[in-house]
């Protein structure tokens, strides 16, 4: 509801409805058709019903035709010069504006077109790469599918000893392993048995780390030395990823804690099923200084998140460098 307002120019506000529909608003200052504002002194009071040539900041009132008649106003700012300029503008050929807008639109498209194309192509490539990685991880549980691909020369039988064997060395724990053919150069930690009585493995987060099983002889001693390493993880390949590509005659160098080095020559590579792991062939003691490198490979089981096969490299001692 709008409340009544006093208007010093046109007199009192008209009565309006009050809070209730049958109640009219009464203004005590409005009596007998005359209006008087007590806030003004008598000597300054001027009746709003008399025309005194009122001027108001740019608006000129030419005449008074009555209280409720529409007054005439003149806007000095809109003179003939502005009206003339407006008329000249209206006479401009609209086709000129159309040509200018068409040119600006073509120029804008040409300027931002390649940028948008690059952004779109970049977004598509990023999404496609993310989809491929996500699908590989979802299907295999790891990132590098090549670990499942085994070379044709890798058989399922135990490789035979080939060549002369060097004299065995005394006990000394391994500290470093080098495989020149594969550019492998990794430290070797000590491993025992896991809680389920299987051979423990190195930490999965350290890709360049191998582990010597302390239930076997040290590399260079008479018997079978066992060194294990991971093939890969979801974040990348690991230290023994490429041992499946080793061939007969490739060398493996083991640095030992006493400063000596034991050099082994590869006899061959074997693929075995984990559920039928040939423990006697892999861990069984031989009559010469032997070495076994073990990692995972073959098909990947997404349910257990493990490879179903193992890759085993067989080698024998061919040379020693004493400290």
Q: Which residues contact 139 (CB under 8 A, 6 or more apart)?
A: 302
The reply to whether 292 and 185 lie within a common domain is yes
> Is residue 66 domain-resident?
no
> Is residue 70 domain-resident?
no
Query: What pLDDT is stored for residue 182 in this prediction?
Result: 97
pTM: 0.59
Please provide the DSSP assignment of 23-37 as one string: -B---TTEETTEE--
Question: How far is 231 from 242, CA to CA, in rounded Å?
Answer: 8
Q: What is the CATH number of the domain that holds 154?
A: 2.40.260.10
Tally of domains in the chain = 2
**Exposure string for 132-141, b = 16+ CB within 10 A, e = fewer:** eeeeeeeebb
Confidence of residue 145 (pLDDT cuts 50, 70, 90): confident
262 is in which domain, residue-wise?
147-321
The reply to whether 152 and 299 lie within a common domain is yes
The reply to whether 151 and 23 lie within a common domain is no
> Is residue 119 domain-resident?
no
Mean pLDDT of 119-123: 54
Better pLDDT: 94 or 263: 263
The reply to whether 161 and 276 lie within a common domain is yes
> Is residue 159 domain-resident?
yes
Angle of CA points 164, 170, 173, to nearest 5°: 105
Query: What pLDDT is stored for residue 239 in this prediction?
Result: 97
> Is residue 99 domain-resident?
no
pLDDT at 59 over 50: no
User: Collapsing DSSP states into helix, strand and coil, what is residue 122?
Assistant: helix
Q: Mean pLDDT for the chain? A: 75
Confidence of residue 123 (pLDDT cuts 50, 70, 90): low
Query: What pLDDT is stored for residue 147 in this prediction?
Result: 87
Confidence of residue 305 (pLDDT cuts 50, 70, 90): confident
> Is residue 85 domain-resident?
no
pLDDT at 98 over 80: no
The reply to whether 294 and 169 lie within a common domain is yes
Confidence of residue 127 (pLDDT cuts 50, 70, 90): low
The reply to whether 40 and 178 lie within a common domain is no
Query: What pLDDT is stored for residue 281 in this prediction?
Result: 93
Sign of CA dihedral 58, 62, 67, 70: negative
The reply to whether 167 and 274 lie within a common domain is yes
The reply to whether 165 and 302 lie within a common domain is yes
> Is residue 249 domain-resident?
yes
> Is residue 315 domain-resident?
yes
Please provide the DSSP assignment of 138-183 as one string: HHHSSS-GGGG---TT-BSSPPPP-S--PPP-----EEEEEEGGGT
Better pLDDT: 141 or 199: 199
Query: What pLDDT is stored for residue 251 in this prediction?
Result: 98
Instruction: Express each pLDDT in 6-40 by its tens digit.
Output: 444 444 444 444 443 444 445 554 455 455 555 54
Confidence of residue 240 (pLDDT cuts 50, 70, 90): very high
């Amino acid at each position: 509801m709008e409340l009544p307002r006093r208007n010093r120019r046109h007199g009192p506000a008209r009565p309006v409805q009050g809070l209730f529909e049958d109640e009219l608003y009464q203004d005590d200052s409005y009596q007998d058709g005359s209006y008087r504002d007590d806030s003004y002194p008598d000597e300054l009071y001027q009746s709003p019903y008399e025309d005194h040539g009122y001027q108001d900041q740019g608006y000129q009132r030419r005449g008074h035709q009555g209280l409720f008649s529409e007054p005439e106003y003149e806007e000095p700012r809109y003179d003939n010069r502005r009206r003339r300029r407006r008329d000249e503008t209206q006479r401009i050929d609209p086709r000129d504006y159309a040509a200018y807008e068409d040119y600006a639109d073509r120029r804008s498209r040409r300027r931002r077109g390649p940028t948008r194309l690059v952004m779109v192509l970049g977004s598509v490539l990023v999404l496609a790469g993310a989809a491929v990685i996500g699908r590989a991880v979802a299907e295999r549980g790891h990132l590098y599918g090549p670990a499942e691909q085994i070379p044709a020369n890798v058989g399922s039988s135990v490789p035979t000893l080939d060549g002369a064997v060097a004299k065995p060395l005394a006990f000394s724990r391994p500290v470093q392993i080098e495989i020149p053919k594969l550019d492998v150069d990794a430290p070797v930690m000590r491993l025992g048995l896991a809680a389920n009585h299987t051979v423990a493995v190195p930490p999965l987060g350290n890709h360049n780390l191998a582990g010597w099983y302390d239930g076997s002889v040290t590399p260079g001693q008479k018997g079978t030395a066992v060194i294990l390493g991971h093939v890969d993880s979801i974040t990348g390949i690991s230290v023994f990823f490429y041992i499946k590509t080793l061939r007969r005659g490739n060398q493996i160098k083991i640095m030992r804690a006493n400063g000596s080095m034991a050099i082994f020559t590869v006899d061959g590579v074997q693929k075995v099923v984990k559920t039928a792991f040939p423990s006697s062939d892999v861990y069984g003691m031989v009559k010469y200084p032997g070495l076994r490198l073990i990692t995972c490979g073959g098909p990947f089981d997404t349910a257990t998140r493990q490879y179903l096969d193992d890759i085993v490299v067989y080698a024998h001692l061919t040379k020693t460098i004493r400290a």
